[in-house]
Amino acid sequence: MVARGGGPATSAAVLVTPAYIWLTAAVFLPLSMMLFFSFLSDVPFTDHAWRATLENYGEFFQKPFYATLLWRSLKLGATVTGLCILIGFPCAFVLAKTIRGRWREALFLLVILPFWSNSLVRIFSWAIVLRGNGVIDATLNAILPFDVSVNLMFTYSAVIIGLVHSYLPYVILTSYLALQAIDDDLIDAARSLGASRRTILWRIILPLSLPGLLAGAVLIFVPVVGSFMEPRILGGRAGTFFGTVIEDQFVAVFNWPLGAALSFILLAVVLLILAASSPVLKRAQ
């Protein structure tokens, strides 16, 4: 049936117009300005002379330091994503298929609790826990008969702990939604046919929940690769990554063109990784 006067189409256009206006004003215009800055020798709102140049992108290829930090950031993203999946998927399975009633609500509250607190509060809380003579040291020394000194502050491990804590809810929530969509009758039928728990996990649960698991992995990997707050506070010198270098260009050095160029190089690398993994994502869907 064809609607008279294009009513449904008009209503749809009215509904989506605010979203497109917001995306244009808050995303595309700032990205366009950043792209413009990346091809300049200096920012145009200062007294210094500026010109169009490719030197900012050339500096990335001339100095191996940047490529090393980019590779280090990619490894950090892969490590954090893998740990979040290993920890988050079993939690999501327990929430979706094992626990019912108020216990599920209470555990859900614990899962989304990090979203209710400021990121700086979470990071500095970990700084108190991980530092020398902190919560971990006090607890272990109260339990063990000998003195223990655990100082994880300003280490690579501290950065991973802080990032996993910040982004773990993403994979739990996306995996939970995918697991909830799996019909319990499929699992019961597999059990009645003699399938073991391992077979049910690998042949039914994991394939059907893979879209949610991959969605959570993408939501974690993309921001972790460019993260700078957790590495800066928890890592110290060990927390120097590609994102912290970009932040330095904007905040400390005031070299916005180089920072913009490094940002778009990072964006291009992440998009290439997602494009290379798109066949796996499509197959999972």
Q: Per residue in 180-212, pLDDT tens? A: 888 888 888 988 888 888 898 888 888 889 989
Task: Give the C-alpha separation, 203 to 258, whole Å.
Answer: 49
Residue 48 has pLDDT above 80, yes or no: no
Task: Give the C-alpha separation, 221 to 55, whole Å.
Answer: 29
Better-predicted residue by pLDDT, 149 or 7: 149
User: What is the predicted pLDDT for the residue at 3?
Assistant: 47
Residue 22 has pLDDT above 80, yes or no: yes
Which of 53, 70, 50 lies closest to 226, judged by CA?
70
Specify the CATH number for the domain of residue 176: 1.10.3720.10
Inside any domain, residue 148: yes
Which of 107, 74, 72 lies closest to 88, judged by CA?
107
Task: Give the C-alpha separation, 241 to 163, whole Å.
Answer: 13
Inside any domain, residue 24: no
Please list the residues that pair with 40 across neighbouring strands.
52
Query: Is the separation of the CB atoms in 154 and 236 below 8 Å?
Result: yes
What average pLDDT does the chain have?
A: 87
Inside any domain, residue 196: yes
Inside any domain, residue 257: yes
Domain interval for residue 246: 62-284
User: What is the predicted pLDDT for the residue at 2?
Assistant: 45
User: What is the predicted pLDDT for the residue at 223?
Assistant: 94
* 84: confidence class by pLDDT, cuts 50, 70, 90: very high
User: What is the predicted pLDDT for the residue at 1?
Assistant: 43
Inside any domain, residue 229: yes
Question: What is the rounded average pLDDT of the residues 58-80?
Answer: 95
Which of 157, 170, 152 lies closest to 87, judged by CA?
170
Cβ-count burial 261-284 (b if 16+ within 10 Å, e if not):
bbbbbbbebbeebeeeeeeeeeeb
Inside any domain, residue 55: no
Give one DSSP letter per residue of 151-198, joined into a string.
Answer: --TTSHHHHHHHHHHHHHHHHHHHHHHHHHTS-HHHHHHHHHTT--HH
Inside any domain, residue 133: yes
Please list the residues that pair with 52 across neighbouring strands.
40
Inside any domain, residue 254: yes
Residue 264 has pLDDT above 90, yes or no: yes
User: What is the predicted pLDDT for the residue at 216?
Assistant: 93
Residue 108: how many CB atoms within 10 A of its CB?
Answer: 16
Domains contained in the chain, number:
1
